[in-house]
Amino acid sequence: MKPANLDGFKTYTQAVKEGKYDLYVGNLFGKYDNVRTYWEDQLTRIVLRPYLWEIVENCRSEQKGVRIVDLGCGAGQGYDILTKIDRRDLDLGLQHKRVLPPDDLSMFLGLDISQAMVEKGQTLFSTHPYVQFQQADLSQGLGEIKQTESPFDLYFSSYGSLSHLARKDLVTLLGDICHHGRDGSYIVMDLIGRYSIEWPDFWYAQSEDEKVRQYNMGYLYSDEVRQTADIESFPIRFWTGEEVRELTQEITAQVGVELEVVRLVDRSILVGRHTDTRSFNSKLKPIRRSINSLHEDYLRTNLDELMLDSSIFPDHPFITPLLHELINSWNILLEFTQRRLSHNFSLPEIKGWDDFPKPLQFALMTIDRVIADVGWMWYGDPRANIIEPQLGYALRTLEYEMQRGWGCGHGLIAVLKIKK
């Protein structure tokens, strides 16, 4: 995440100095861990693909380049997300064809309150003439770019950046965007979900003050550092899907421009950043760490450590049933995988198949086929390098296909469309 206002400014400036925003992919810990690379960024791309494709096609028909503004851009990681989306799911014979090749861009403008972030972005993208960065305080709306820049096709945010804004400030920003954008422009809000298992004490917040809580970036540091260091906290506004719908209705009424909620998606329901730190829920297992292991070369994961139970969160009238179904499916897939690995030449009995959710049925068939197809291999540790990554993707797909966009994940992606 990146700060959209002054709260947390010192944390992010220090993180830049320590190199935590250097371009790096894949790890067991830290900012660029495997869950971010293979789960979070990929799911964001899957969600955005149809809308970005619509933007690109419209711009091509008008013979103009795509204009994007990244709100709370950090050091420009959003550029990597948007320019590495494939047009379709790839079969074995296809090469990558991106939805948004860099040549289709006419501007990618990053706005961030942190000058350290702006300077880091300018350094990283110094060879990209159409990528620019400016310091801006988004709590004041779009600021001077309302007058200096023509409308953007996409008003984009990532990694919870807009949760740094108080609700009233987000209303101001979205109102400015509605006036500034054109008919058909999209807005992508990446927010922090309130119903995450990471902080069940926040689930029943009622007043606006209760929906803003202190947050920290302790996941950037080792267990030892978290236990001894004074890690800075700063206020974050936690959101539900219903609140996003209410927000857009309010803005539509205020500014006279229709703001449609096109898609709401929960991301990282069981593997959010703070499942490992347990800073807000001491009952959690360090599940993200184990998922990171699934995607690490030549490292076998203890699958027992991935099993979950429902005692990690309290009862809630509609959140609890959804989480129970997801956790039950998650555990069934893990148990099947363990039995299949132990008896890779015979199919274990599966009871209750007809009652399983469709995503679970597909995941079970996938893992069965993967193990059957590679079980004879002896070179390169096929369990660690083939089977476990595929298990990771299967678990990711369970989360994605069983989510409801209610704010149950660490991240809540909201795709909005301006209609004039």
Domains belonging to the chain, first-starting first, are: 8-269+406-419 (3.40.50.150), 276-402 (no CATH)
Instruction: Tell me 318's DSSP state.
Output: T
Distance of CA 407 to the CA centre of its chain: 12
CB atoms < 10 A from the CB of 145, how many?
17
Three-state DSSP state, 209: helix
Residue of 98, 126, 112, 201 lying closest to 157 (CA atoms): 112
- The pLDDT assigned to 24 comes to 47
In single-letter form, the type of residue at position 332 comes to: I
- d(Cα 4, Cα 172) in Å, to the nearest integer? 13
**Structural element, H or E, at residue 175:** helix 167-180
The pairing of beta strand 66-71 with beta strand 154-156: parallel
Q: Which helix (H) or strand (E) holds 215?
A: strand 212-216
Structure tokens at 36: 């971010």
296-316: pLDDT as tens digits: 999 999 999 999 998 888 899
Q: pLDDT at position 311, please? A: 85
Can you give the pLDDT at residue 96? 87
* Cα dihedral sign, 187-188-192-196: positive
Residue 140 burial (C-beta neighbours within 10 Å; 0-12, 13-18, 19+): middle
pTM of the model: 0.91
- State the pLDDT at residue 224: 81
Beta bridge partners of 259: 418
Mark the ranges of the chain whose per-residue pLDDT is less than 70. 1-12, 14-26, 344-346, 348
CA distances from 285 to 37, 282, 304, 309, 396 (A): 21, 8, 11, 10, 17
Q: Is 233 helix (H, G, I), strand (E, B) or coil?
A: strand
pLDDT at 343: 77
Distances (CA, A) of 142 to 7, 60, 179: 18, 26, 10
Report which of 15, 2, 8 is spatially closest to residue 133, judged by C-alpha positions: 2
Q: How far apart are CA 162 and CA 67, in angstroms?
A: 20
Q: How far apart are CA 48 and CA 293, in angstroms?
A: 27
CA distance 289 to 278: 12
For 180, phi then psi, to 5°, come to -80, -40
Handedness of CA 276, 124, 75, 58 (dihedral sign): negative
Helix (H) or strand (E) holding 264: strand 258-267
